[in-house]
């Protein structure tokens, strides 16, 4: 989706430097999704694009993770004519709160904003499975992994933007003493 990458560049969503990612890994590229998500018109367009693969799947619930997943799950749910819910971190673990629930057998699509390692998606999948609901697929805004992640469910990403990342003790930017920036961490 070259159009979306251009939009990300245009809005300042793609940053270069030395960043600590939510996963704990370090990278020279950070995607500030909120440069896109702060614009309701962009959220609506992104929701339409993310919902498209599931238009004929009879999705009953769209599940994302706070914070970016709140906006995306809502936009996708609007397009699919269903409800969008989200999980929040409590003591470092994603969990359903605020009266949200998943009934056994419900058809669920899991939504993620940025995939770096896939850890948050794995947590969301576990929530769905633990409630006996049925994962129909996974959809993300940006997959920044080198080769993609196999979640054992159909997975769609609007943008593949592979970016290198390193464990902190193997980070070449740390070895060069380049200052580290921590942005938008979710408490993971």
Q: For 40-95, how does the pLDDT look when each residue is reduced to its tens digit (9 = 90+)?
A: 999 999 999 999 999 999 999 999 999 889 999 999 999 999 999 999 999 989 99
**Residue 52: which CATH number?**
3.40.50.2020
pTM of the model: 0.87
Q: What's the pLDDT tens digit per position in 133-168? A: 999 999 999 998 888 899 999 999 999 988 888 999
Would residue 188 count as lying in a domain? no
Q: Which domain holds residue 67?
A: 2-182
Does 143 map to a domain?
A: yes
Q: Is residue 56 part of a domain?
A: yes
- Is 187 contained in some domain? no
Which residues does 178 contact at the CB level (< 8 Å), separation at least 6?
17, 18
Question: How many domains, the chain?
Answer: 1
């Amino acid at each position: 989706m070259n159009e979306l990458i251009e939009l990300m560049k245009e809005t300042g969503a793609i940053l270069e430097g030395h960043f600590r990612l939510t996963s704990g890994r370090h990278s020279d590229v950070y995607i500030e999704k909120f440069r896109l998500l702060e614009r309701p018109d962009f959220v609506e367009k992104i929701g339409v694009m993310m919902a498209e693969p599931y238009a004929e799947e009879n999705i009953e619930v769209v599940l994302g993770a706070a914070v970016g997943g709140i906006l995306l799950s809502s936009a996708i749910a609007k397009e699919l004519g269903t409800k969008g819910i989200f999980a929040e971190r409590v003591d470092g673990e994603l969990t359903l709160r605020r009266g949200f629930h998943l009934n056994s057998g419900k058809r669920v699509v899991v939504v993620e904003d940025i995939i770096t390692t896939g850890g948050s998606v794995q947590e969301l999948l576990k929530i769905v499975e633990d409630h006996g609901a049925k994962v129909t697929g996974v959809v993300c805004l940006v997959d920044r992994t080198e080769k993609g992640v196999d979640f054992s469910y159909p997975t769609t990403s609007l943008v593949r933007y592979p970016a290198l990342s390193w464990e902190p003790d193997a980070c070449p930017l740390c070895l060069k003493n380049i200052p580290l920036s921590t942005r938008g961490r979710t408490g993971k």
